[in-house]
Structure 1
Amino acid sequence: MTPSGKTVDAALAQLRQALSTLESAVDGRFERERAHSDIEGEVRRVHADRSRLAQELDQAEFRANRLEEVNREVSRRLVTAMETIRAVLDR
């Protein structure tokens, strides 16, 4: 083989190596992009779940407060009814 043939072979070997390195870099980039996209999707799902849970918590707190108000009103009415019954019995 002539010296120029060796030079061409060496250049081709370097080109093949460079292409292989480039393919690996591109594959790695695609994989990171895919993973990043998966993570972004998961973050969106977590935010949606958090929003839904916050809304459910707000509704539950509202119902609990309403039940507390109703409970106080029922207690007040029971006390009034008992006092009325006592007054009637005491006559």
Structure 2
Amino acid sequence: MPAENSVDAALAALRQAVAGLENAVDMRFEAERESMEIDGEVRRVHADRARLAQELDQSEFRANRLEEVNREVSRRLVTAMETIRAVLDR
């Protein structure tokens, strides 16, 4: 009987070790899947950031262009007002 008990104990220990190994493999696969999901999310965030940076650059360019046009319009209005005043003063 002692040999049979030691075989049973060894089989139980082996089953437990195999179950532990299976759990470790499952956890590793889950961690790898989560890592891939995180990598994908990081890539999406970087793509969004690049798109937003490009849109910001375009908006800044447009704002600068509008500012230049605004200055030109103001200059022309001042010139027109001065011309009108000069005509009225005659």
What TM-score do you get using the length of structure 1 for normalisation?
Answer: 0.94
RMSD: 0.9
The equivalent residue for 1:70 is 69
SS of residue matched to 2:27: helix
Q: How many residues align?
A: 90
Q: 2:74 and 2:2 mapped to 1: Cα distance?
A: 106
Q: What amino acid is the match of 1:53?
A: L
Q: Any idea what the Cα deviations from partners look like across 1:31-78, whole Å, max 9, x if unmatched?
A: 111111111111111111110000000000000000000000000000
Q: 2:2 and 2:40 mapped to 1: Cα distance?
A: 57
Unaligned runs of 5+ in 2: none
Q: 2:51 and 2:15 mapped to 1: Cα distance?
A: 54
Deviates more, 1:71-80 or 1:33-42: 33-42
Unaligned runs of 5+ in 1: none
Identity, in percent, stands at: 79
The equivalent residue for 1:20 is 19
